[in-house]
Amino acid sequence: MCGFVGLIGVEQASHEVFTALQSIQHRGQDSAGIASKKGNHFRISKDLGLVHQIFKKEDLDRLEGSAAIGHVRYPTIGSGNREDTQPFYSRRPGIVMAHNGNIINFEEIKDFLLEKSIYLSSHCDVEPVLHVMASYITKETKPGYSLEDVIHSLKETFRIVKGAFSIVGIMNIDGKDTMFLTRDPNAIRPAVYGRKGTAWIAASESVCLDILDFEICGHVKPGEVIFFREGEEPVFADIAPEKPSHCVFEYIYFARPDSHLDGKCVYQSRLELGRELARQWLLKHKASEIDVVIPIPDTSRPSAIAFSEYIGVPHREGFIKNRYSGRTFIMPDQAARMKALKLKLNPIDTEVTGKNVMLIDDSIVRGNTIARITEVLKTRKPLSIHVGIYSPPVVNPCFYGIDMSLKSELMGRVVMERLKIDEPCPDGETLDIIEKKMAEMMGVDSVTFIPVSALRNVFPKKFCMACFDSNYPVEITQEYLKVIENDRLCGQCNI
Ligand code: SF4
């Protein structure tokens, strides 16, 4: 998962990019970078760490110019070393670029570039995209490049590059500083743009626009590119036919609740999911079985509120999250892992002891966190623990930019294999069996998911739900599956 922001027409744009990047720090905490353009000079500064740790005022002062892009990264391909940090730069024709997503034919593109004697300096998947685009733009050597040249190069790039990608970049086009923002034909990852006076902003989430007082103008259409220049109206071009399939997980977990993605408010979506979960719960249980509804902070708060309102049972904060506990490293034993979790999330005795507790969480991916949370909760002696998850079980890996690419580590899949269930999208009685097995494994009284059929009530348009329903919007080859599995397994070895 990653996030980006781009600005054009703002004095010393890097300072504003720095501010906006902090508002999307949740999209990636491993590394961050900012690139700026002034005249014929590009400047880049990037490193490992959080945005506020990396950039000092003097770094931002050096990143001169009224056009700048920035990026926060959480690696889903590549090791996450410093050389994989975005943005990336190509001298010819002079572009800086950053993206959010995952390129699924990374190896194929590398071969394509090798044939042209173009070598890469990282394992980050935006670097080959940048070089493919640059290779098409610079096919003809001339003093400058036009919008038509760039649109043509993007059409060729979209033909070669497969996967999920929302891209922001800056280059000189028609002799003017130009920022471009584009999205793959499925528009899996978000991309929004807005204006303030003569300036333009591009970002992964609308919260960046709020922070900098920009007005939202729209969301990039699937397969579209938009060019922005200071004081001019944007230029729109279609690069590839639309096949919309926005990631539903952005609404469930990743995006900030105060963001709007493709015109849909994330907070409102989580309220709807909470109500849907309550309807599912009432199909199998009575409201009187629980005394209190407790969110696992922070993501599930809106859904827990909506759940409690729907069934008429009070909602309370049952866990306090330590905002300063930092990262928990791989722990050698269960006792150490429990200590780390307690440091992060501590229950409030008065709200849970002697009560029938309904815990609400967004999803179960690997299952480690929910298992440990219920373990901690049991030490406070509740009468019963019910777990409500406002999404279906994750039973498939994601190859489009979310770090859950190993099938073997997904709790939903592990349970299905134990139960010898082989269905692409568990629903109805099969889902009941899975819920019972998970409750048994966690030692809790019940587990309730939202089935995919009900998730579609909340997201009726075309959304990617492949990790729940096995319908991948972009075909995944067996070869790519092997590459990504090796990459992730190798990443785990490096931890
Ligand atoms: S597979 Fe899941 S996480 Fe990945 S893009 Fe689709 S909905 Fe989002």
Please tell me whether residues 418 and 283 are part of one structural domain.
yes
Tell me the CA–centroid distance for residue 208 and ligand 1, in Å: 23
**Residues 386-431 pLDDT 10s:** 999 999 999 999 999 888 878 888 999 999 999 999 989 999 999 9
End of a domain among 245, 280, 302?
Answer: 245
- Summarised one tens digit per residue, pLDDT across range 137-146 is 998 878 889 9
**Average pLDDT estimate for 453-461:** 93
**Are residues 240 and 277 both part of a single domain?**
no
- pLDDT at residue 15 greater than cutoff 90: yes
**Residue 254 belongs to some domain of the structure:** no
Q: What angle do CA 369, 484, 115 make, to 5 degrees?
A: 155
Question: How far apart (Å, rounded) are the C-alpha atoms in residues 26 and 72?
Answer: 9
Output the 3-class SS for 1-40.
Answer: CEEEEEEECCCCHHHHHHHHHHHCHHHCCCEEEEEEEECC
> CA-CA distance, 163 to 77, in Å (whole number)?
13
Active site residue 467: no
SS3 call for 308: helix
Q: Are residues 33 and 164 in the same domain?
A: yes
Q: How far is the CA of 398 from the centre of ligand 1 (A)?
A: 5
Segment holding 155, helix H or strand E:
helix 147-160
Beta carbons within 10 angstroms of residue 424's beta carbon: 12
Count other Cβ atoms within 10 Å, centred on residue 322: 11
Report pLDDT digits (tens) over 347-373.
Answer: 999 999 999 999 999 999 989 889 989
Residue 494: predicted pLDDT: 34
Q: Give a yes or no: residue 486 inside a domain.
A: no
Of 2, 124, 208, 464, which is the active-site residue? Answer: 2
* 93 Cα–ligand 1 center, Å: 34
Is the shortest distance between the CB of 304 and ligand 1 below 6 Å? no
> Two tokens at 329?
């490293």
Given a cut of 90, is residue 37 above it in pLDDT? Answer: yes
164 CA closest ligand 1 atom index = 5
The finding on whether 365 has its CB within 6 A of some atom of ligand 1 is: no
Residue 248 Cα, ligand 1 centroid: separation in angstroms?
Answer: 6
Query: Do 281 and 238 share a structural domain?
Result: no
Which tokens in the block code for residue 304?
């827990």
Ligand 1 lined by 1 (C-beta under 6 Å):
no
Statement: residue 108 has pLDDT above 80: yes
**What CATH number did the domain enclosing 442 receive?**
3.40.50.2020
Residues 79 and 196 in one domain: yes
Nearest CA to ligand 1 atom 2: 467
Number of domains within the chain: 2
Evaluate: CB of 8 within 6 angstroms of ligand 1: no
Cα–Cα distance for residue pair 59/54, rounded to 1 Å: 9
Q: Is 467 in the pocket of ligand 1 (CB under 6 A)?
A: yes
Q: What is the pLDDT of residues 174-217, one digit of tens each?
A: 999 999 999 999 999 999 999 999 999 999 999 999 999 999 99
Gap from CA of 249 to ligand 1 centroid (Å): 6
pLDDT at site 177: 97
> Does any domain span residue 315?
yes
**Do 152 and 40 have their domain in common?**
yes
Are residues 389 and 297 located together in one domain of the fold? yes
Ligand 1 atom closest to residue 399's alpha carbon, by position in its atom list: 4
Q: How far apart are CA 465 and CA 406, in angstroms?
A: 17
Contacts of 64 (CB under 8 A, 6+ apart): 12, 14, 36, 38, 41, 43
Q: Which two tokens stand for residue 263?
A: 């015109």
- Give the pLDDT confidence score for residue 253 in this predicted structure: 95
Q: Is residue 108 in a domain? A: yes
Domain boundary (212, 245, 278) is at 245
Final residue belonging to a domain, choices 211, 245, 279? 245
Which amino acid, residue 135?
A: S
Check whether residue 321 and residue 211 sit in a common domain. Answer: no
- The mean per-residue pLDDT over the stretch 270-282 comes to 98
State the pLDDT at residue 327.
Answer: 53
Distance 401 CA to ligand 1 centre (A): 8
d(C-alpha 247, C-alpha 254), whole Å: 10
Is the shortest distance between the CB of 452 and ligand 1 below 6 Å?
no
Question: 215 with 270, same domain?
Answer: no
Residue nearest to atom 4 of ligand 1 (CA): 398
Residue 260 forms part of a structural domain: no
The answer to whether residues 126 and 223 belong to one domain is: yes
Distance (Å) from CA 399 to ligand 1 centroid: 8
319 lies in the same domain as 456: yes
pLDDT at 78: 60
pLDDT above 70 coverage of the chain, percent: 94
Task: Locate the ligand 1 atom nearest the alpha carbon of residue 463 and give its number.
Answer: 7
Is 251 part of a structural domain of the chain?
no
The verdict on pTM exceeding 0.85 is yes
**Residue whose CA is at the smallest distance from ligand 1 atom 5:** 247
Tell me, yes or no, whether 161 lies in a domain: yes
In a domain, 478, yes or no: no
The CATH number of whichever domain residue 190 belongs to comes to 3.60.20.10
- Ligand 1 nearest-atom number relative to CA 465: 7
Instruction: Please name the residue ranges forming H helices in 443-477.
Output: 452-458, 466-469
Q: Is the pLDDT of residue 173 over 60?
A: yes
For residue 373, the enclosing domain spans 266-465
228 and 308 housed in the same domain: no
Residue 290 Cβ inside 6 Å of ligand 1? The answer reads no
Residue 183: phi and psi, rounded to 5, are -140, 145
Sign of the torsion formed by the C-alpha atoms of 471, 476, 478 and 483: negative
Ligand 1 binding pocket includes 474 (Cβ within 6 Å) = no
